[in-house]
Each structure stands twice: as C-alpha cells, then as structure tokens.
Structure 1
Amino acid sequence: MPADARVALVTCDLFPDLWDDDHPLRDALVARGVAVDAVRWDDTGADWSRYDLTVIRSPWDYVARHDQFVAWARSVPRLANPADIIEWNTDKRYLSELAAAGVPIIPTTFVGPGESWSAPADGEWVVKPTVSAGSQDTARYALPGQRAQAEAHVSRLTAAGRTAMVQPYLAAVATAGETALLCLPDPTGELTFSHAIRKGPMLLRTGEHEINPGSEDITPRTPSAAELEIARQALAAIPGGSKRLLYARVDVIPGPDGRPMMIELELTEPSLFLREAPTAATRLADGILARL
C-alpha cells in the first residue's frame, strides 16, 4: 500500500458525510492508515486523479442525470466498481441477459419508447423504469381495478423517453420478505458471499400519480442453499467476470412455487448493510487495501 494512500468514497449532496451504513468502512480504512474523503460524484472541483481508488457508495441522486453519471464514471481513472459495469448495471435491461444465461429472474416485460402495453386481466403488478434507484417512479397495481392507472404509468414513462418494466408482484415479499446476499472480496480477491439480510415490503398498493413506499425493515438472515446458488450463477454471468468487482448484492425472493428468483443484481451503489455483520466492513476495507 502506498505510504500516503488516499481513497474517495463517492456520495451525493444529500449525504455529505456519507450514508450512515458506510461509516464502518470509512473507520476501518482510517484505522489501516488510509486517508478517506467523502466526495460528491458531481463535484466539479474534485480531482479524481489524486485518489488511489474511488469507491462508489451513495450517489443516489444520479437517476435524473443518468447519462451524466455514466460519463462521470468513465472519466474516473481508478473506479470501483468499473465504469463499464456501472453503465451495464444502471439499466435493468441487464436482467434479460442474466435470464438468457440461466439465472432465474422474476418474469419481466420491457416496454420501450414508442411501444404500447396492455395490462393483464388480473393479478398484482409492479411498474417501474429500467433506470431507477430507491423505488423512484415505482408503483404496485391491483388489476383489473387499477388497470387504467397501470397503463397510464407505463405510458408516462415511455412518453418521457424511458423504458418501463412490468413484473408480477410476488406475495412472498410480505411474508418471507426479500433476501439480499452481500458479496465481498475474500483474501484471494474473489468475490464471495459475506452476509445476508432480510428486507420487509417497501411498496403498498397505489393509485394513479401516487407512490407509497412502506418502511424498510432490515434484519440479519441466513440464506438457503438455493439462494446462494442464485448468487453464484449471477456472479458467474457478470460481463468480464466478477473478480474485478469490489462488491455485489444479489436480491432474491421466493416465487409462486417457493423456489427463489432474483429481483436485482446490484453492482453500482447498493447499501451493503455493513452494520449487520461484524466483519463485513473490515473485509471490504481489506479488499480495498489489496487493490492499493
């Protein structure tokens, strides 16, 4: 490690001192003699070349400026995760590539600008844009009663030049909840399972022009063998391989038959829930040091 090693942890103006969950990582790096700066991704005065590594953490205001964010990532000389992964992963159309690779995902319909979509006859469905974060512009609809609202939501997204995605709402989110599997570097640099948490339901049913997220309930969880296998499959399907990544989060949920399905593979700015596992922050800090 360079004697004067310096790392940037990337945030946004909403969290100038980093998101609370990233404080253990900051502290672990400082304890190892690394100088750490919290820097906004859109800080025009930032000199990214002065950092031995720039680690993306909480730039959660990028969605409305997606193209600018991707261009920024390309401009950073030493970035984790890498810029090509950021570009690929910030558009959820990557799910179709993972499905083609055999990863079990929630069945997803993509509707692009200029395309139309007719809602199914019944059931509960989630509509959201392919570029989003933190449930922005996401809503859950019960059909047939909210058919018009669901179709209008898709039309608003596509009329704005965005691609919409439609997925069935899985009832298990309110019972079993989502399992988020966090993967961090092991001593050899391989990305392997670190810890897991359970997330409670975020989306309540909504009417037109209304998004009503529930409170997020986070608790530790021991994943099943089937859930761990999905994480392994997802990491194996990452373009260029997973060894060049510093972190990954695989979100899964039981499907209608009880078998787990992947919701998202989060490689850009996921919460890593470092406080939920005693060694997670130090493991990630050691992974950063290995890159320095």
Structure 2
Amino acid sequence: MIRVAILTPDPAEVAYPDLWPKVLARLQRALEGAGIDAVPTPWTAHVDDASALRGYACVLPLLAWGYHHDAARWQRACATWQREGLPLANPAKVLAWNTDKRYLCELAELGVAIPPTAFVDALTQAAVEQAFADTGAEELIAKPAVSGGAWKTRRLRRGDVIDAAEPMPMLLQPYLSTIETQGETSLLYFGGHLSHVVNKRPVVGEFRIQEEFGGQYALVPAPPAEALALAEQVLRVVDEPLLYARIDTLPDADGRWLLMEAELIEPDFYLGVDPAQGAGFAQALQRWVSPGN
C-alpha cells in the first residue's frame, strides 16, 4: 500500500476543531479505496527538521489549516521542505508563493482578469477612503494578504469608520454583489484535468461562503465557458507541476469572469458534492507517485 502524509493543523490551533477531521475522513476514504494510506501529521512538527516525512511517497499539505496565524513559521517550513527535497505536492515553492495574496497582482500583470485590487501596509481610514475614491465602489472587501477561511475579512460601506488600524498587509477590492445572486464558481483540477465544478453561495444576510458561515454548495454539471477559459488560463500562467488546484471565479456586474483566488495550498475539494467522491484525486495521486504505471 502507498503511504502518504497529510499535513494537518497545529495541535494548538483552535479555529477548526470540528471541521478539519471531517474533511480528513473524506480524503482518507477516497484514498483508501485506491490503496493509499493517508497518515495525518501536524505541519508544525516538521518546520525545521523534515526527516520524519522522508519515508512517505508524497506529502500533502491539504489540511495545513491555520498556517496564516503563524505565517513566518509557515514560510520557514516551506523553505525547509524545498531545501530537503521532500516529495511535496504541490511543490514547496508553489506553496510559499501562493501564501501571500499579492500573487494576484503577478497574475494580473500576465493578463489574468482579477477585481480591481489595492494592497496596503495596514487597514487605515485613509487607505479605505482612497480605495473608495479610486474604484468608485459603494462597498469594499478588506482581507489580509495572508489569510484563510475569511479570517479578518471585512465588508466595508462608504462612511464606515475604521476604529483601529489593522497592522498587517491587506488587500482592498470592490464588493461584488454577484456573490449573492450568482455565487462563486470553483473549478477543481486533479493532475491537470478538470474534476468537478462547485457553486458556492452565502446564506441571506451573509457575504462569506465558507461552511462555517453557512455557505451553500451545489455541483455544477458543466462550468460556464468563460469561467473554464479563465481557469485554464490561470493554470497556464502559473506553469508549475500541480497535483491539485482549485480556481475560484466570480462574474462581475457586467458578466466578466474574474479570478478571486487560485487555491494551491490547502483547498477543500468539496468531495461531499463530487460525483466521484474523490476517486479522481486518488487516481491523480497514484500517477503522481508512480508516473510509469
């Protein structure tokens, strides 16, 4: 049986105590059916010494949730894993690059459509007012440049007062109300091939689409052509060997599809709505660790 490691949250992490074990169980069931034993281990146990991970056919950071709470240690871990040549999927240098959402601006410079985005050193009243002036938006979304699970993500309206500056790099984007009417469309790729497509919508009165905020997920039988073209463009531009990728897209008010995130570290695969229940990922992983078979 093939043995792989799945990196899990720091044991001291308190944000996801009930959710990540359920996601792990789904992954393990999918992989077990393909003869793959998935062993969970906290990512924080392998920051400066990765020797305990060398015996695995592949190391998957799929549940390294909460890394954004200790971003410096996470980046140190990525450097260790790359230096020691771990069989990591996705590659350590991709994980390090994908950690900071400023990668969106790099992709935009290469022609990928993203919402108008400003990065600021801290969330201040002046920065917010400047973003409103620059975009003409009535509402903004503010989120940390290094974050996950809508952590510290805020929806701001004109006239809102920033009581205290958020002392970390943040991105500011116009709030796209289409998240409420059309939802975000996520395209899941395993081994470079489209596996399934999921539409995610917030509950009434909410703008966040994560499961912990009541997000509603539904399988999309066929992706919108523009969303598919955008996702394929993103993968071409990233141009790295990726075992998995989740490309999150959303149309703006004019119907132009925009990249919201390219999730290459620890995306939920939404196996609960995957018709194959993760079999496609298991097959891609088999090919990854045994390319000649």
TM-score by length of 2: 0.83
CA contact (8 A) 1:8 1:36 kept: yes
SS in 2 for 1:66: helix
Q: Which residue of 1 aligns with 2:224?
A: 224
Residue range with higher mean Cα deviation, 84-93 or 275-284:
275-284
Deviations 1:151-205 (A, max 9, x none): x56x32xxx3x211100001111110111111111xxxxx122111111127848
Q: Which residue of 1 aligns with 2:144?
A: 129
CA contact (8 A) 1:25 1:281 kept: yes
SS in 2 for 1:248: strand
What count of residue pairs does the alignment treat as equivalent?
Answer: 266
Is 1:245 paired with 2:242? yes
Residue range with higher mean Cα deviation, 108-117 or 220-229:
108-117
Residue range with higher mean Cα deviation, 50-59 or 107-116:
107-116
- Give the alignment of 1:93-242 within 5 angstroms: 93-112=102-121, 117-119=127-129, 120=132, 123-144=138-159, 146=160, 148-149=161-162, 152=163, 155-156=165-166, 160=167, 162-185=168-191, 191-201=192-202, 204=206, 214-221=213-220, 222-238=222-238, 241-242=239-240
Q: Which residue of 1 aligns with 2:39?
A: 37
SS in 2 for 1:117: helix
CA contact (8 A) 1:194 1:280 kept: no
- 1:10, distance to aligned residue in structure 2 (A): 1.4
Q: 1:173 to 1:17 in 2, by over 3 A?
A: closer
Q: Measure the CA separation in 2 of the matches of 1:224 and 1:117.
A: 35
Unaligned 5+ segments in structure 2 are none
CA contact (8 A) 2:243 2:288 kept: no
SS in 1 for 2:278: helix
Q: Measure the CA separation in 2 of the matches of 1:31 and 1:170.
A: 40
Which letter does structure 2 place at the counterpart of 1:138?
T
Deviations 1:44-82 (A, max 9, x none): 598111211111112211112112112223333111111
Q: 1:214 to 1:27 in 2, by over 3 A?
A: closer
Which letter does structure 2 place at the counterpart of 1:9?
I
Q: Measure the CA separation in 2 of the matches of 1:32 and 1:170.
A: 41
Unaligned 5+ segments in structure 1 are 186-190, 207-212
TM-score by length of 1: 0.83
Identical-residue share of aligned pairs (%): 31
SS in 1 for 2:29: helix
Which letter does structure 2 place at the counterpart of 1:126?
I
- Give the alignment of 1:20-59 within 5 angstroms: 20-43=22-45, 47-59=52-64
Which letter does structure 1 place at the counterpart of 2:45?
D
Q: Which residue of 2 aligns with 1:88?
A: 97
SS in 2 for 1:80: coil
Is 1:257 paired with 2:254? yes
SS in 1 for 2:272: helix
Q: 1:62 to 1:257 in 2, by over 3 A?
A: same
Q: Measure the CA separation in 2 of the matches of 1:35 and 1:118.
A: 48
Q: Which residue of 2 aligns with 1:210?
A: none
Q: 1:273 to 1:114 in 2, by over 3 A?
A: closer
Deviations 1:264-291 (A, max 9, x none): 1110111111221222511111111112
Q: 1:205 to 1:269 in 2, by over 3 A?
A: closer
Q: CA RMSD in A?
A: 2.6
Q: Which residue of 1 aligns with 2:68?
A: 63
Which letter does structure 1 place at the counterpart of 2:109?
A
Q: 1:180 to 1:114 in 2, by over 3 A?
A: closer
Is 1:278 paired with 2:272? no
Deviations 1:67-99 (A, max 9, x none): 211222333311111111111101000000111
